[in-house]
Amino acid sequence: MILFAYNLALLAALLVGAPWWLWKMATTHKYRVGLLERLGLVPAGLRATGEGRRVIWLHAVSVGEVLAVSRLVGELDRAFAGYGLVISTTTRTGQELAAQRFGAERVFYCPLDLPWAVRAYLNALRPELMILAETEFWPNLLSGCFRRGIPVAVVNARISDRSWPRYRALRGLWRPFLGRLSRVLAQSATDAERLIAIGCEAERVSVAGNLKFDVRAASEGEATRELRERAKGLRLVVAGSTLEGEEAALLEAWPLLLEGDSKLAMVLAPRHPERFAAVGGLLEKSDVAWTKRSDWRTEPDGSRASLSPGQVVLLDTIGELASVYSLAAVAFVGGSVVAAGGHNPLEPAQFGAPIVVGPHYANFRAITEDLIAQDAVRIATREELAGTLIELLRDTAAAAAMGERAKQVFDKQAGATARCVDAIGELLAGTGSAT
């Protein structure tokens, strides 16, 4: 009955919103990308996977989830080599990064939660296990798996502070679906308690830890190698995953930072690719010398220009930020000065970089509070941002010690991947051979 009501409401929303969606598809490229796949047209290569091998389907929504499961995918490939592991994403940026990391032949857009679209993929892939990253719960997708007897596991499961009231208010809707999940591997004890409260069976929920503690930047990226060469003699401020308003705050602070140390350059990495042009426009209007990372790829061999003191590099590429943090004299993690819930401070922590975040870090509360408890991060409002960065740049010994404590926090929390692989192995053993 709940599923019928959900589909009825979904159909009504589609009909009412059709003009808006048609306009968006006509005017915005990202709304057209992968549309046929999302509506149920299964790519031929995936059909071949479903016909030739036993399949595990892992769904990771966007860039953050793809990064989180990166090591898990490799470990599952090794542990269950007899299976074909396929990975779906929802966003275009997630799709591009997943294709780059895991191979385009096994990456696809997740179908919209429409009965016929979900049915087409389940019929074609016939997965023996569905793995969801974090809390990507869709009623038709879950129901389709349950009807076919496909176990569903959730890895890196969490309920953020921001989404908790909404889930709690709708627990009557979620309970029939979440109560049938086979395993739920939560990031923290708080997440486990919340998941049980909204309907997950307590005996199937366990705390595995955060997969992001196990994700280390793989080989050093091309951008990192180029920055190291171009920035010789300079110290880098790396501002990652920034949102609207934060780039302006950093540019306002930049002259003050240069007064304290004229041998600085900054790497500015907006969170969303669709904002690259807008941030470029902001830099163009400023008095700051700047360059785009993407332009380096078209430079003739041997013409690699050094960065000038005070110059800003716009990192307008996808998937290169993580290892760039290894060059940071100080790292700012965005989405946190503006009220957006913050982004992942573990990316710079793994390199022992001194970290600054804003006061809005609810999306990564447990991680950030672990860092705060070990004096391994600085919290700064927009007004405090310049002073905090200057302090860390000036006191290099204190900054290095703080960065080392951040690395220790990162290292001590490892192990979630192995716990997830063990749990997945148990589920596969229940469906047949897990090797």
pLDDT confidence of residue 402: 98
- Count structural domains, the chain: 2
Q: What is the pLDDT of residues 347-371, one digit of tens each?
A: 999 999 999 999 999 888 888 999 9
* Tokens coding 302: 């041997």
Range from 62-66, 298-302, 369-373 that averages highest in pLDDT = 369-373
Are 419 and 408 in a shared domain?
Answer: no
Residue 218: pLDDT above 70?
A: no
Mean pLDDT (whole number) for 192-201: 96
pLDDT, residue 379, reads: 98
Amino acid letter for position 204: R
Q: Which active-site residues does the annotation give?
A: 65
* Helical (H) or strand (E) element with 47: helix 44-52
Residues 96 and 141 in one domain: yes
**Which residue range is the domain that position 231 belongs to?**
222-294+305-412
Residue 173 lies in a domain: yes
Burial pattern 137-164, b for ≥16 Cβ within 10 A else e, equals bbbbbbbbbbeeebbbbbbbbbbbeeeb
Mean pLDDT of the residues in the chain: 91
For the cut 80, the answer to whether the pLDDT of residue 50 exceeds it is no
The pLDDT confidence band at residue 280, using thresholds 50, 70 and 90, is very high
Please report the pLDDT score of residue 151 as a whole number: 97
Prediction pTM value? 0.76
- What is the number of residues in the chain? 435
Identify the weakest region by mean pLDDT among 181-185, 200-204, 222-226. 222-226
Task: Clarify whether residues 420 and 398 are in a common domain.
Answer: no
Residue 31 near residue 91, CB atoms below 8 Å = no
Task: Please report whether residue 421 resides in a domain.
Answer: yes
Whole-Å CA distances, 247 to 273, 294, 355: 14, 19, 17
Domain CATH code at residue 273: 3.40.50.2000
Asked whether residue 69 falls in the same domain as residue 173, the answer is: yes
pLDDT at 419: 96
Q: In what order do the strands lie in the sheet with 205-207?
A: 107-109, 83-89, 54-59, 129-133, 152-157, 183-186, 205-207
| Spatial distance between the Cα atoms of 415 and 417, rounded to a whole number of angstroms | 5
Residue 364 shares a structural domain with residue 312: yes
Residues 316, 206, single domain; the answer is no
The pLDDT value recorded for residue 47 is: 83
Quick one: 174 and 253 in the same domain? no
In this prediction, what percent of the chain has a pLDDT beyond 90? 72
174 and 285 inside one domain: no
Window from 38-42, 105-109, 195-199 with minimum mean pLDDT: 38-42
